[in-house]
Chains A and B, each alone.
Chain A
Amino acid sequence: MGVFFSKAKRSRVSEHDKAVLQVKQQRDKLKQYQQKVEKQLETERQLAKKLLNEGKRDRAKLLLRKKKLGEQLLSKADAQLENLETIINDLEFAQAEKEVIKGLQLGNEALKQVNTLYSIEDVERIMDETRESIEKQREIDEMLQGVLTNEDEADVEVEFEKMMADSRVAEPEPKVPIAEPEEFVSLPEVPSEEPSSPEEASEEAEKTKPSPDKEKVKSKEKVAVLAE
């Protein structure tokens, strides 16, 4: 018996839970009732159709009236079902609201406890101490800035050495004029594409005198032109 008693104490199901469960059970019963009535209505509709086919119009009409009554019962059941669903939602939302209020209360109490740890005077003292510490830090920063002058001098020396290195790099610049002969060499090739008149060919020969190899090429071209 003790075991059962202790188990009962450990239950995590509240009276609120039991109330919600009871409403849900009523909802389930209503749903089952609806299913039963719907099935009966379908059966009677089929029977009415059959009676109509057999020419028994009066009995068919009687069944249809009964069916109409069943449909009204279904509508009432629907309305009650909606009421039950509303109650269930309200109950569950009330539970959620209760949890929220409890959370707010816990937060409020925690805030009060924190506030009791510090009085306004304590806060003022802490703020003053903080302000003094900030001023001290600022003075230290200013002193360190004075020392930075030595570092600036070191940076100046580094930059000076860089400038010296840059001036040395400038020496290779005279190499640029060496490229000019290459450009000069490429010039004669362009006119060779137009060997239509002999006068131009003779002019080209004069220009290429410094290059013996190219003179040979030009002489060959002359022969080709003459052949044409």
Chain B
Amino acid sequence: MSEVQWPWQYNFPPFFTLQPNEETKKKQLEAWRDLVLEYVKKTKTCIVDVQEADTTPLFSNAAISRKLSLEGIQAVLEMLHQKGNAEPIDKTKVRWYIYWHTLAEWADIFYQHAQENGLVNSVCTLYELVNTPDKEFTGLNEEIVIKILAQLQKDGKAELILSDDGSGSGVKFF
């Protein structure tokens, strides 16, 4: 896990206040989007809880005594949602999945891995898939992996094998 590179805005107090000017606000949200994706990628964060945002340095900078408001966090997440980089886990919109690659991009990454490692036309467990060492998807949340593989299943490149008895799930690539 490499060090997070904080952009200059992170130390700029107005960055943590939703701007009234529409053009400035647009730029602000774009900068927040880049920061969030960079942060979750470096820390391999898959889920963000709006109510627990204070526990992470992502939305609060103690050095300048600033933190993004709840309204601001929701605005950022909605923007990420439109771009395909975030999705609410439930209707309450408190907890969100964050994808630093879109699901379609992740699907390509997984399928390329399957082709390069002779996994085509064979089954493997989701556990061994996400525990492949030294991969960008190493340690990725299993629920997100299922969403990604569902994309490949839609394209006919994979078939999910989901068990109801909780003994673990698998996938077969084609």
Contacts and interface: CB of A to CB of B under 8 A. Distances in A.
B159 A12 contact: yes
Contacts of B123: 13, 17-18, 20-21, 24
Interface in A25-69: 25, 28-29, 32
B122 interface: yes
Contact of B125 (A11, A12, A24, A92): A24
Contacts of B52: none
Interface in A65-92: 92
Interface in A119-150: none
A22 B172 CA distance: 13
A25 B161 contact: no
Contacts of A13: 123, 159, 161, 172
Given A13-B159, A21-B161, A28 B127 contact: yes
Interface residues of A, number: 15
**For the complex, would chain A's binding face be called helix, strand, loop or mixed by DSSP majority?**
helix
A24 B172 contact: no
B173 to A, nearest CB: 10
Given A21-B124, A24-B123, 6 more contacts: A20-B122, A24-B128, A24-B170, A25-B127, A28-B168, A95-B122
19 contacts: A13-B161, A17-B172, A18-B161, A20-B122, A20-B123, A21-B124, A21-B170, A24-B123, A24-B128, A24-B170, A25-B125, A25-B167, A25-B168, A25-B170, A28-B125, A28-B127, A28-B168, A92-B122, A95-B122
Interface of A: 11-13, 17-18, 20-22, 24-25, 28-29, 32, 92, 95
Interface of B: 122-125, 127-128, 159, 161, 167-168, 170, 172, 174
